[in-house]
Amino acid sequence: MAASPKFQFPPPQTQYSLLSFPAPFVLLVTLNRPRDLNCINSAGNVELHAVWEWLDREPSLRVGIVTGAGRAFCAGADLKEWHQTNLDTTPKPTFVGGGFGGLSRRSGLKPVIAAVNGLAMGGGCEMIVNADLVYAAPRAVFALPEAKRGVLVLAGALPRLVRTVGRQRAMEMALTGRNVSAQEMQSWGVVNGVVEDGDAPDTPVLDRRVVKEALRVAGEIAANSPDSVIINREGVKIGWEGVGVEEGTRLWVDLVGSRMQDRENMEEGVKAFVEKRKPVWRTPKL
């Protein structure tokens, strides 16, 4: 591992992810709740938002990589925490800044590469959709299973996903919640490459071939002109987003999603997940 660079700005303190610097100009963020399949709680969302803000601000860094410890990349939101808020008066967890994991709605300046080592579900999949490049292990699985839990895909993925994979494929993911393989996601254009490996889930992060591939690509990017990378990235984003993606997300969250907040089926889906049973849906009054 490369020696830690001298920072102009100190890195944020993190409890739920590990920050390392395995190559010059490269930040590696490892989601580190392996027993919980790296689901992200409200405090973790705040942490990650601060990390990506720091990446953009810190001049010694040019590229970020995000991966997960253990067998999952990220299984989405911490539904146990969410369930607890349904039992008392605790405010519902909310996204900050760049959305889920600080990434699902992030605009930012510097590129972030996702090295998907395993499960990428719900919010974890939403992070992937908005990453700049995505490399996946063959065992990686992607899904938006929110409809199975009675909750919504609210972190920004849907307007972005439809532009990447097309209406019918986006509908399939959003409405069925089915698992999609890394190979299929590559054929859809979400994944840049599937990195063949024989790594076990407990392989150390830096020894994983998918992380090594992400580091290789990050090295290529970091070797280029930093300002050219930032400006060229913005040009691609303008062509992809135009003025529609964030506006689409705002309309979805404000006009449609707000009608579902605190609904009985949302609470039931989360409760059933925690209790490990099938949910009993009620006919919604929309």
Catalytic residue among 47, 53, 81, 146: 146
> For this structure, is 126 an active site residue?
yes
Q: Report the distance separating Cα 190 and Cα 61, nearest Å.
A: 25
Task: Answer yes or no: 146 catalytic.
Answer: yes
Task: Show Cβ contacts of residue 185 under 8 Å, excluding neighbours closer than 6 positions.
Answer: 134, 136, 140, 142, 191
Which of 64, 98, 123, 150 is labelled catalytic? Answer: 123
Catalytic option among 72, 75, 77, 222: 77
Q: Which of 47, 53, 81, 126 is catalytic?
A: 126
In a 13 Å sphere around the CA of 81, the CA atoms on its Cβ side amount to 15
Provide CB contacts within 8 A for 230, sequence distance 6+: 109, 110
CB 232 within 8 A of CB 128: no
Alpha-carbon span 69 to 162, nearest angstrom: 29
Other C-beta atoms lying within 10 Å of the C-beta of residue 198: 7
- Among residues 112, 116, 127, the alpha carbon closest in space to that of 77 is found at 127
* Residues labelled as active-site residues: 77, 123, 126, 146
